[in-house]
Amino acid sequence: MGKIEKNSSVMPACSLTLGIISILSALFWYITLPTGILGLIFGVKSYRQFRSKLGLAGLITSIIGLSLFVFIYVSLIILLMINNY
């Protein structure tokens, strides 16, 4: 009863969930950064340990969420700098 099978890990599902949350909340840095980084960590760990396709999907969605976050905030900073001149 106390045994956990190799394929019953929740890490791939957590990675995918956190990656999707990081994409949907890309405008809010205080949500995007923790969820994106945790999703990235869980995705890498689950893909390396289990070769899980769900873990790979979580890894990809976390990368997309963090990239979108960086793009939005860098664009915003550039626009603010251009408007000041």
- Tell me, yes or no, if the pTM score tops 0.85: yes
Burial class (CB in 10 A: 0-12, 13-18, 19+), 39: buried
Q: How far apart are CA 20 and CA 39, in angstroms?
A: 9
Question: What does the pLDDT read at residue 5?
Answer: 55
CA distances from 40 to 37, 55, 70 (A): 5, 9, 15
Tokens encoding 72: 């939005």
Q: Over the chain, what is the mean pLDDT?
A: 92
Question: What does the pLDDT read at residue 8?
Answer: 64
The pLDDT of 1-16, averaged and rounded, is 76
